[in-house]
Structure 1
Amino acid sequence: MPESFFHQKVVWITGASSGIGEALALELARQGARLVLSARRADELQRVASATGLAPADVLVLPLDITDEASMPSHTQAVLRRFGRIDVLFLNAGISQRSFVSETDLSVYHRLMAVNFFGVVALAKAVLPHFLAQKRGQFVVTSSVSGKIGVKQRSGYCASKHALHGFFDSLRAEVANEGLRVTMICPGYIRTPISASALDASGKAYGRFNKAQAEGMPADDCARRILRAVATGREEANIGGKELLGIYLKRFVPGLLSRILRQRPIEAV
């Protein structure tokens, strides 16, 4: 990977307080990036900022609630006041789900779309004028294998991730001649707390670690692969283990995948 790609670049990461976002922050710091770290938990962001080892001048802790769409322009201006530019925006904030459609309250679907789609779109739109004015910039969007296929107990999560692909594929086509890039990242099972913080049927935290998640790819390995995809200008990168096979089955033999998913036990997902 051309590690010099991120040297001295201003990189804004949402969902930076844990999981893939935290791993990205640590690896980007090692590669010499200047960082903006965002999530709701200011104390956890401070912990990550300290762990990067960056000088205070090279890291900005900027707490935000991704569902507060109206605040995105002011947060963007805060970054520009501090660093004067944004080079790469990692749209990584998100929340998962563990509940059957028949049992899930409609409010849970609203919450999933607010966090995983509308908040992401709001921040992208706030940063877009700056990217267009400087005629460069890269959106890096954390989707999921679930953005390509639907699985049990993830109906709202899958829907929100599918929506990201439609929006950002359209955006990529619109800005392709303006010097801007869009990279979609589709992780499979990565060793993060995402299953424990997922929403249950009533909107409460699921509170349990999924076995496949716990045995998945380490987050730091995932982060390095993501950064390689970004640095080489890829439009999309699938990252994970054997679960990635589902993406290709969906494309080439969808009937077979459908039968596999119907028969798959709940504990496996």
Structure 2
Amino acid sequence: MSFNNKVVWITGASSGIGKHLAIELSRQGAKIILSSRNIETLKTVKQLCENPENVKLIALDIEDYTNLKSKVDSAITLFETIDIIVNNAGISQRALARETDIAVDKRLMDINYLGTVALTKLILPHFIKNKSGQIVVTSSIVGKIGTPLRSSYAASKHALHGFFDSLRAELQQDNITITLICPGFVNTNVSLNALTGDGSPQQKMDKATKNGIAPNYFAILMAKAILKKRQEVYIAGFKEKLAVYTKRFFPKILSKMITKLSVT
């Protein structure tokens, strides 16, 4: 198994995990389709890839999820097929639930959940026709546990697990696999862009994010998980992984630990 000549479509590819995954998969011989809202930034990422001639670009706003069909049709025609879609586009949150406007809650769900689901549903007929395909979803450790300042972000990621676990069972007979990637803290701009209570970006780097896994190393681990077709994988530090297993086996203990986290 390898990525050589595999066609991989990555959303949220202009920075962070998406950018570095594109660079890594290009190094491993994949043909890449990059998508985000900013086409100019995607051009920069393309030039960082080992084989830029095998990298195509499609501008896409995942929040505009009712108008994605033409994007999917265009993506399929670029290399005449798609083997893997990496649903990586998303946005985080840094605000107390009681101080978050309901419009911000909705936006988090629109981008992180509904946009991802809509794009997946549109590419499903292509995968089903080919009796082959892999759907990769960038979730989060917060998709398994809830933490302060991330109530609606956690909700959107939890929703992804519910949907894609169900979808995996439905698609078993069609030879379509689903891989849920759960990052812990990764040193990207995710906290800078995280939405505050009024919907404005936080514009501040969290200490934990700054000290997180280097995105290029994360991309190597993510690529391995995709290649092995893992159902669900936690790419995170020891404490974040421990929290997931504590939640599973000792939920009351984790609950006490979570309440001690800073909410300021």
Instruction: Give the alignment's TM-score, normalised by structure 2.
Output: 0.98
1:214 deviates by: 0.3
Matched, 1:117 2:113: yes
Where 2:171 maps in the other structure, the secondary structure is helix
Matched, 1:176 2:176: no
Instruction: Tell me which amino acid in the other structure corresponds to 1:53.
Output: E
1:11 is matched with which residue: 1, 5, 8?
A: 8
Aligned length in residues: 263
Residue equivalent to 1:204 = 200
1:54 deviates by: 1.8
- What is the Cα-based RMSD across aligned positions, in Å? 0.9
Structure 1 Cα separation of the partners of residues 150 and 123 of structure 2 = 30
Moved over 4 A (4+): none
Output aligned runs, 1:160-239, within 5 Å.
160-239=156-235
1:53 deviates by: 3.3
Could you report, residue by residue, the CA deviation over 1:116-169 in whole angstroms, capped at 9, with x for unpaired residues? Answer: 000000100010000000000000000000000010010010000000000000
Residue equivalent to 2:134 = 138
Residue equivalent to 2:125 = 129
What stretches of structure 2 of length at least 5 have no aligned partner?
A: none
Where 1:151 maps in the other structure, the secondary structure is coil
What stretches of structure 1 of length at least 5 have no aligned partner?
A: none
Matched, 1:40 2:37: yes
8 Å CA contact 2:46–2:52 kept in 1: the answer is no
Residue equivalent to 1:250 = 247
Where 1:183 maps in the other structure, the secondary structure is strand
1:266 deviates by: 3.1
Structure 1 Cα separation of the partners of residues 156 and 55 of structure 2 = 30
How much identity, in percent, do the aligned residues show? 45
Where 1:186 maps in the other structure, the secondary structure is strand
Where 1:259 maps in the other structure, the secondary structure is helix
Where 2:166 maps in the other structure, the secondary structure is helix
Structure 1 Cα separation of the partners of residues 52 and 241 of structure 2 = 38
Residue equivalent to 2:143 = 147
Could you report, residue by residue, the CA deviation over 1:12-50 in whole angstroms, capped at 9, with x for unpaired residues? Answer: 000000000001000000000000000011111000001
Residue equivalent to 1:100 = 96
Instruction: Give the alignment's TM-score, normalised by structure 1.
Output: 0.96
Structure 2 Cα separation of the partners of residues 233 and 196 of structure 1 = 31
Structure 1 Cα separation of the partners of residues 226 and 140 of structure 2 = 16
Instruction: Tell me which amino acid in the other structure corresponds to 1:74.
Output: S
2:67 is matched with which residue: 66, 71, 80?
A: 71
Instruction: Tell me which amino acid in the other structure corresponds to 1:189.
Output: F
1:55 deviates by: 3.8
